[in-house]
Structure 1
Amino acid sequence: MRNIKLLGWVVFTLLWSWGGAQSLPKEVRERIIQATVMLLPADANGRLQDSLGSGSIISPQGYILTNYHVIGDTDDRTIAPLVQVRTVRFVDREPEFTYWGKVVAADPNLDLAIVQIVMDKNKKAVSGLKLPFVELGDSNAMNIGDDIFVFGFQGTGGMTLTFSRGSVGGFTGEDLESSGRQWLKHDAQTGPGNSGGGPTTSAAP
């Protein structure tokens, strides 16, 4: 049983009432796919660091929600000056380098960060973006047994977008032992590179 931190790896509960179906409607999947991005931290000159993660576009203006540890070091509290943003054009191909982003908000204690797209891949400023995005839901609406669907770049078996499914197995507190809802237990397959991606559940409003 794996764990997702409800504060650190935020769950996007896209509140669609499809009755706990075992698969997501095509239009929902397409929306999530287009809003899922690969993030690669870089130095001020654009040289990539040796890590990658996932993120989810949460506004059409290009704000991306991810984990702090994707774009920074939780030990020394440093943040990457630039973040390369790669978007999915074809699901059977690696994501394409499309934008540069900068971290505009970050909390290492919650393991959360917001990256804003600010330039195209040629480092020309961008504005007026109208990107596909997903809305944040209410993780308190989730319950044991709800279906969970995970989108991200696991890094296992290649660099293309990966989808996995499972179910909510339970909840635990901050220390993974006491009671609370800081962590969600699930059995969906995940791996390195999934961090920052937005799991989706079948929770209804």
Structure 2
Amino acid sequence: MRTLLMMSVLLLSATLSLQVSANLPDFAELVEENSVSIVNITTRQQVPARSGAEQRDLEELLRQLRPDGIPDLEPESVPGRPRSGVGSGFVMSSDGFIITNHHVVANADSITVTLTDRREFTADIIGTDELSDIALIKIDAEGLRAVRFGDSEGVRVGEWVLAIGSPFGLEFSAAAGIVSAKSRNVPSRGPANYVSFIQTDVAINQGNSGGPLFNLEGEVIGINSQILSSTGGSNGISFAIPSNMALNVLEQLRESGAVSRGLLGVLIKDVDHALSMAFDMPRPYGAFVDDVQPGSPAEDAGVQNNDIILAFNGIIIEQSSQLPFYVGQVRPGSSADLTVMRDGDTLELPVIVGALPANDQAFGGGQPPEPRGNSLALSVGELDPGLQQEVPTLAQGGVQIEQLRDGPGRSAGLATGDVIVSLNHQPVRNVREFNRIMESLPETGFVPIRIVRDGRGTTLVLELQ
């Protein structure tokens, strides 16, 4: 009886094991079919020799560490030393166009591409784009096997993906995992985020950069670009550039060697819980317009401060960081549609997208002193006429914060010197108007307050308790 029971248990275990195996993907055929399209990329960069002053500083440091003395070193005799790097890439077209990351080939003096059959070629850079971290290079070869691209928009969280690359120089290594999340925004190498990444748990390491991320159909749905790690190795969090966005960039690089991006000309921030409550939104989403740049496409389209951009070309904007990504995909001069919420109404605004310049979106602000105040824990004074003439956005007036203490104003991020131009959706032109509006504020809830700081407008939210 016991023997029969044990045989039944073993049979059940084997059956379950077969069922689990049947549900797991077999990556072997995918790797065999696509590995021929993967390349290893080696770069070399000549590091300049140390100057005489740098060499003397080094010698002084060594003397401090070695009191017994060090050999004499002649600065002129210390040559520049080469520095090498390794990355991955893959074939875009049979005539030798190769895709990789910008950071893999940036500043390289020479680029060597190695195919799976061990042939080596010297590559030329066709164009690179730092904002998307994409580069297009070219080797003198024909008859290469190009990859097939898939639709990154159709990728689902939880589906299997496969990466092939050269982690730590181990050429043509395969690693599998799943899509962990979509539309991830991570710190950008440029002035703004123009990539909405695919996050995976694939074991991506140094050297995988620039390699492809495949779906189970053998289609490239991403370009491996970054990892999140405390050690420099894989912690199970990696990020890939979506193929749909990459193709847009690659097409421009192949045509002109450079990339142009769309621009609206607005300073934006997330709609958090406080802003959504202050503007009577059912939930927080969209991009809050803090300031419309003068003469920008947004201003021409009729976008106003305190508008909330809910959608761009029909695509819902859940987080403000998504807006630059979608706008950046549109060629300058093209028309687009904005869905905007203003004073509780939804508006459709057509816009002609401009071209992206460099733009610093940071706001300044100092630490306010301890002061007296009123029910908002701040005190205000009349606007300096000279400041009003100097700053065009203050033409209609305002009041300047003179002092702050702990309270709603400081918690919201106000600082002394800020100019209040509206409170609770009502314009503030002088101290009398400010006091009148303040007296009518509710005892609790969220109230928007618009200020001008360093010549730029922004809207904050006071939480009244």
- Same fold, TM exceeding 0.5? yes
Match of 2:93 in 1: 59
* Contact 2:40–2:171 (8 Å) recurs in 1: no
CA drift of 1:51 comes to 0.8
* Residue 165 of structure 2 is aligned to residue 152 of structure 1: yes
In structure 2, which of residues 28, 31, 37 is the aligned counterpart of residue 29 of structure 1?
A: 31
* Contact 2:31–2:174 (8 Å) recurs in 1: no
Count of residue pairs the alignment pairs up: 157
CA drift of 1:81 comes to 4.2
* Contact 1:171–1:181 (8 Å) recurs in 2: no
Match of 2:374 in 1: none
How far apart are the structure 2 equivalents of 1:99 and 1:115?
11
CA drift of 1:67 comes to 0.3
Indicate how the Cα distance of structure 1 residues 148 and 186 shifts in structure 2: closer, same or farther if over 3 A, else same: same
In structure 1, which of residues 88, 99, 108 is the aligned counterpart of residue 121 of structure 2?
A: 99
Indicate how the Cα distance of structure 1 residues 25 and 164 shifts in structure 2: closer, same or farther if over 3 A, else same: closer
* Residue 202 of structure 2 is aligned to residue 199 of structure 1: no
**Deviations for 1:47-72, whole angstroms, at most 9, x for unmatched residues?**
97421100001110011110000000
Structure number with bigger Rg: 2
Match of 2:143 in 1: 130
CA drift of 1:190 comes to 1.3
CA drift of 1:189 comes to 0.9
* Contact 1:58–1:136 (8 Å) recurs in 2: no
* Residue 187 of structure 2 is aligned to residue 165 of structure 1: no
Match of 1:70 in 2: 104
Amino acid at match of 2:215: T
How far apart are the structure 2 equivalents of 1:204 and 1:68?
24
Unmatched segments (≥5 aa) in structure 2: 1-22, 47-80, 188-193, 220-465
Match of 1:187 in 2: 201
CA drift of 1:203 comes to 6.3
Unmatched segments (≥5 aa) in structure 1: 1-19, 73-78, 90-95, 119-125
Match of 2:291 in 1: none
Amino acid at match of 1:132: R
CA drift of 1:21 comes to 5.9
In structure 2, which of residues 107, 110, 113 is the aligned counterpart of residue 85 of structure 1?
A: 113
What root-mean-square deviation, in Å, do the aligned CA atoms of Structure 1 and Structure 2 show?
2.8
* Contact 1:166–1:189 (8 Å) recurs in 2: yes
Instruction: Compare the two structures and name the one with the higher helix fraction.
Output: 2
